Amino acid sequence: MKYIVRKLISFFVTLSLVSFLVFAAFAVIPGDPALSKLGTDATPSQLAALRGEMGLNRPLLVRFGSWAVSFLQGDMGTSYSYDRPVAGMILDKIPITLTLALMAFVLTIVIALPLGIYAAKHEGKWPDRLIYCMGQVTMAVPPFFLGILLTFFFGLVLRWFTPGGYVSYQSDFLGFLGYLFFPALAIALPKAAMALKLLRGSVIQEARQDYVKTAYSRGNNTNQVLYKHILKNALIPVVTFLGMTLTDMIAGSIIVEQVFSIPGLGRILMTSISGRDYPVVQAIIVWIAILVLVINLIVDPIYKGIDPRIRME
Amino acid sequence: MKKEKNWNLIIGCVLTGMTIIFVLVGFFYTPYDPETMDVTAKLAGVSAAHPMGCDNFGRDILSRVMKGSGTTLVVAAGTVAIGTMAGILIGAFTGYYGGVLDEVLMRIIDALFAFPSILLALVFISLLGPGKYNVIVALGIAFIPSFSRIVRSQFLYQRNMDYVSSAKLQGASDIRIMFVHILPNTLSVLRSSVMIGFNNAVLAEAGMSYLGIGVQPPDASLGRMLSEAQSYLFAAPGFALFPGFVIIVMVLGFSLLAEGMKDA
């Protein structure tokens, strides 16, 4: 109980800190949003009026306070470039990016676990070496280039999917998931390569421990020892690593969305960064921070549950 | 038992060496001017005149890849330099002194660390605007949290060691103890994180330039070439493949090298 309360407090402290840092960063930059909205031929009085209207002449902390309160009420400000409420622009994009990240995460596990165990079982033999070499190369490929390669091979040569043929999740959910498969794969493969290398090493290391000999001497066969004894311990570092990658998956989605023309948070983030549309950038960053922190909040107890040596303090 | 050959180190050295030579030559000589357009050679395939073909403006891809990898390496080196130096300063002071300063700074660093560094870089880029030097600054700042944490944990561990106490007894100043006595002992840990950081910087720069918010023309950049090439994927696959493979070779070489040095 105490643990949960402490975690929640630290969640809110971190979230406020991050949103304040983001807010302050955007507040102190040179460049005047009123000027960029009105253009250079605006008269000084027009600018002053708009600045007043946008609340730009109040102190920073007051502005942050009122921004945070309206953010919590669902009002994330108004886009400078489109003059539309930011909430309406980004809320329906969050499920897209989140689904992509989660799918990539699931794929990472599905690829890494069996291959990692297989490689460890065949340590030093050719399947292990082959997996090792392929893993090393995969780790070096930037996810967006992997996306381009997948588009080229599966989209243009084999025609398994239509590049750019994004299906909206509101109209056809299965089609949406189908379109996300290759983008998710592009994000997942390099991470899977890292996870499988970690798992392989960890299984091999655990297999040299004394308890493994004991388990064998009790008449267990290799598979029983592996799945009942070794994996339990070998998975601990892998789960920690996976917990950390889940947040990277969100960052990865932002980039890979561009490769596959998926209209998620990444697309809108890029256009607003180029257009200096700060309210939108700010809201997206805070939303990503929320996602990242919620993920950490969920993942933390999981690996504490797996490893009883980490006490819940 | 015969010691197995350190293949990681060997292959890593070869690939990194090739990359460095490729980039160094590119600083002084490219087969063509990377900016000159040749309408007759638009999307030309691989040939003796253009070993990697030409792009949609008829510019020689090999020359552009040479220039672009140079940009990427410079950005990555700058990023790591900023990240490491600031990381050493913050990590050393917080780890050595502890106390309130440590509490406050580490809270902020932890909050930032929870955030994927490329996103952090995106925030800074949206503040600074795109361009080569801004990318270095943005990525450099984004890398500070992870380096600070590594250095801090090393300093926390080392500050109670006997050699530090004896240096204190001999009247060495705190600054001297931090940077002359403790810092050299953290270098082996720092070295591998610098190498990993370097790779992450290469990947991050390519990603940002691919998104169009990194290095801007006329500076050639591998990421940007990839984004331009994407529309011509079917007509001229080499336009995307060559810059992409150069990134892979660069990153692979460096990570094998890092791994090989760990085993050596």
Residue range B135-147, pLDDT digits in tens:
898 889 888 888 8
Q: Is A137 on the interface with B (CB under 8 A)?
A: yes
* Closest partner CB to B116 (pick from A29, A248, A272): A248
Cβ–Cβ gap A274/B203 under 8 Å = no
pLDDT tens digit sequence for B94-127: 888 878 888 888 877 877 777 777 888 888 887 7
Q: Kindly state the tokens that stand for A309.
A: 């040596």
Interface touch A288/B119, C-beta < 8 Å: yes
pLDDT digits (tens, 9 = 90+) for A39-88: 666 777 777 777 776 666 677 788 888 878 878 877 777 777 777 888 88
Residues of chain A positioned with their CB less than 8 A from the CB of B203: 142
Decide if B123 and A25 are in contact by the 8 Å CB cutoff.
Answer: yes
- Interacting residues of A163 by C-beta distance below 8 A, sequence separation 6+: A151, A155, A156, A260, A261
pLDDT value for B1: 47
Where in chain A are the domains? 2-72, 87-306
Closest-approach residue (CA) in chain B for A24: B127
Tokens 């190498």 appear where?
Answer: B195
> Can you give the pLDDT at residue B86?
92
**pLDDT class of A104 with cuts at 50, 70, 90:** very high
Confidence of residue A36 (pLDDT cuts 50, 70, 90): low
Q: What pLDDT is stored for residue B231 in this prediction?
A: 81
User: B117, exposed or middle or buried, with CB in 10 Å at 0-12, 13-18, 19+?
Assistant: buried
Which of the pair, A306 or A198, is modelled with greater confidence? A198
The pLDDT, as a whole number, for residue A31 is: 60
Distance (Å) from the alpha carbon of A66 to chain B's nearest alpha carbon: 22
Q: Compute the nearest-CA separation of B118 from chain A (Å).
A: 7
What CATH number is given for A87-306 in this structure? 1.10.3720.10
State the nearest Cα–Cα gap between B55 and chain A, in angstroms. 16
Q: Which residue of B has its CA nearest to A148?
A: B230
- B71-107 core/surface letters (b: 16 or more CB in 10 A; e: else): bbbbbbebbbebbbebbbbbbbbbbbeeeeebeebbe
**DSSP code at position B60:** B
How many C-beta atoms lie closer than 10 Å to residue A231's C-beta? 19
Residue B230 has pLDDT above 50, yes or no: yes
The A residues from 197 to 236 touching B (CB cutoff 8 Å) are none
Question: Per-residue pLDDT tens for B157-211?
Answer: 888 888 888 888 888 888 888 888 888 888 888 888 888 888 888 988 888 888 8
Query: pLDDT for B27-39, tens place per residue?
Result: 887 777 777 777 7
Query: pTM of the entire structure?
Result: 0.83
Q: pLDDT tens digits, residue range A123-171? A: 888 888 888 888 888 888 888 889 888 888 888 888 887 777 777 777 8
- Check if the interface score ipTM surpasses 0.85: no
The DSSP call for residue B3 is: P
Question: What distance lies between CA A158 and its chain's CA centroid?
Answer: 29
What's the CATH class of domain B63-263? mainly alpha
Gap from B244 CA to chain A (nearest CA, Å)? 6
At residue A313, the pLDDT reads 43
